[in-house]
Amino acid sequence: MKVSLLALILTFFLPLWSPPKSTYSISGTHYSDNKPVLIEFEKGKISKITPFKKAGGVPKLFVAPGLIDIQINGFVGVDFSGPNLTVEDVRKVTKALWKEGVTSYFPTVITQDISIIKKNLAILAKAKDDPEIGMSIPGFHLEGPYISPIKGFRGAHLEKYIKKPNWKEFIELQKAANNHIKLITLAPELEGAIPFIENCVKIGLVVSLGHHNGSVSDIQNAVKAGARMATHLGNGCANQINRHHNPLWPQLSEDLIKISIIADGFHLTKEEVRSFYKVKGSHNTILVSDALDLAGLPPGEYIRGERKLLLTPEVVKFPGENVLAGAASPISKCVEVMMNYTQCSIAEAIRMACSNPAEMFSLNHLGSIRAGKRADLILFSRMGNKIEIQKTFVNGKQVY
Ligand SMILES: [Zn+2]
């Protein structure tokens, strides 16, 4: 009886069984040259890219490498600097970002009580080890607490937690983060900032100047010490500045400084975005969302700490004063605004939201569609400059 059952299984069911599929492929119109391509991937990596030929026309969707956002404070109600952050919160953010075409991001922890910064960095380090979401978190961004305490320059950072650079303290934070802080934003004019920058560079961090009122010599000294970036240029700056002597010109004119900008249509004027872009070009500009935790939630009024905030479909405001409180758009929106404001191509806009950050942080496995790169890909539809994410792949797996 047993033998005949086995024979039955072998005869009828074995031919139906096939080994698990190891090669996947997607087709789409390549974002940079508009040519239809077939992209094959194996074990999470792009293995082959060939022209897509099929009767019946070209693929409807465009294909591009997944977006990389190196400055994002939170999303869908989760604040990376909040007191109750959990790994599950980080999972919620990561999954929500996949829907927006973000395949990698740097959770950004801002000026806070140092014990909360430390605790949250440790939670982020745990999230980075998580097999489901860790691949989308290549590193963390620490923005503050070593920034300018002056009103205007400090932006929304709370003055009481702002301090002078302290290497011993930073090393403790980096330890808590399991060495995953890859980017630090600080003010170069603070006492001790220059040797602090040198130390950061020695251990492989990218140092970015932000929320500062550095003079020409402060900025030059920071660059000499190894600083290579300016954080959200044009924001984190007082409304009234000297027209000749202000932090903008020396950062714009310094060739060794790349800039990040919040091109969400609200944080910078069209003329600022165009001017910054003309000076730095698409190769030295990085788009960031700088989105707040409210981003991704339904519009309305929210209470955060002691503050009341108004989330509109585009941005977060303080309702009383009707001034900006922060960004609420994912980086894909910044890609659209960049095309609208500067008339740059989609290839250039995606370069600024993907290839440039990958290059800046030596994420050599990311940032472009090439054989050997990790299969982090997005498929999207396009109506003029409007893009809509349809599918997202991380490490060759469809996550949206
Ligand atoms: Zn900032």
Distance 387 CA to ligand 1 centre (A): 26
Interhelix angle 87-99/114-128, nearest 10 degrees: 60
Distance 261 CA to ligand 1 centre (A): 10
For the stretch 232-250, pLDDT in tens is 999 999 999 999 999 999 9
For the stretch 187-210, pLDDT in tens is 999 999 999 999 999 999 999 999
pLDDT-derived band at 1 (thresholds 50, 70, 90) equals very low
The C-alpha atoms of residue 51 and residue 30 are separated, in whole angstroms, by 10
Beta bridge partners of 105: 69
What domain range is 110 assigned to? 66-364
Q: By C-alpha distance, which of 103, 138, 182, 184 is closest to 354?
A: 103
Question: Please, which residues have CB within 8 angstroms of residue 305's CB and are 6 or more apart in sequence?
Answer: none
Task: Tell whether 321 is covered by a domain.
Answer: yes
Distance 201 CA to ligand 1 centre (A): 21
Has residue 10 got a pLDDT over 50? yes
Chain centroid to CA 212:
21
The C-alpha atoms of residue 396 and residue 375 are separated, in whole angstroms, by 5
Distance 26 CA to ligand 1 centre (A): 38
Whether the ω angle into residue 145 lies within 30 degrees of 0, i.e. cis, is yes
Distance 87 CA to ligand 1 centre (A): 24
Task: Tell whether 126 is covered by a domain.
Answer: yes
Distance 186 CA to ligand 1 centre (A): 10
Task: Tell whether 52 is covered by a domain.
Answer: no
Mean pLDDT computed over every residue of the chain: 94
Question: 9 versus 186: which is more confidently predicted?
Answer: 186
Distance 154 CA to ligand 1 centre (A): 8
Task: Tell whether 400 is covered by a domain.
Answer: no
Q: What is the pLDDT of residue 190?
A: 98
Q: By C-alpha distance, which of 333, 332, 328, 297 is closest to 314?
A: 328
- Token pair of 93 as six digits: 């953010």
Q: By C-alpha distance, which of 313, 351, 305, 354 is closest to 110?
A: 305
Chain centroid to CA 343:
22
Distance 168 CA to ligand 1 centre (A): 23
For the stretch 348-396, pLDDT in tens is 999 999 999 999 999 999 999 999 999 999 999 999 999 999 999 999 9
The C-alpha atoms of residue 77 and residue 295 are separated, in whole angstroms, by 7
**What single-letter amino acid sits at 367?**
G
Task: Tell whether 214 is covered by a domain.
Answer: yes
Indicate the range of 83-97, 179-193, 314-328 predicted with least confidence. Answer: 314-328
Distance 236 CA to ligand 1 centre (A): 6
Q: What is the CATH number of the domain that holds 111?
A: 3.20.20.140
Task: Tell whether 235 is covered by a domain.
Answer: yes
**What single-letter amino acid sits at 226?**
G
Distance 288 CA to ligand 1 centre (A): 11
- Token pair of 55 as six digits: 């009767």
Coil/strand/helix, residue 177:
coil
Number of domains in the chain: 1
For the stretch 284-335, pLDDT in tens is 999 999 999 999 999 999 988 777 899 999 899 988 777 788 999 999 999 9
Task: Tell whether 374 is covered by a domain.
Answer: no
Q: Do 385 and 334 meet the contact criterion of CB atoms below 8 Å apart?
A: no
Task: Tell whether 133 is covered by a domain.
Answer: yes
pLDDT-derived band at 11 (thresholds 50, 70, 90) equals low
Distance 131 CA to ligand 1 centre (A): 30
For the stretch 259-294, pLDDT in tens is 999 999 999 999 999 999 999 999 999 999 999 999
Distance 104 CA to ligand 1 centre (A): 20
C-alpha torsion angle, residues 199, 200, 202, 203 (rounded to 10): 120
* C-alpha dist (Å) from residue 6 to 63, 309, 331: 47, 68, 57
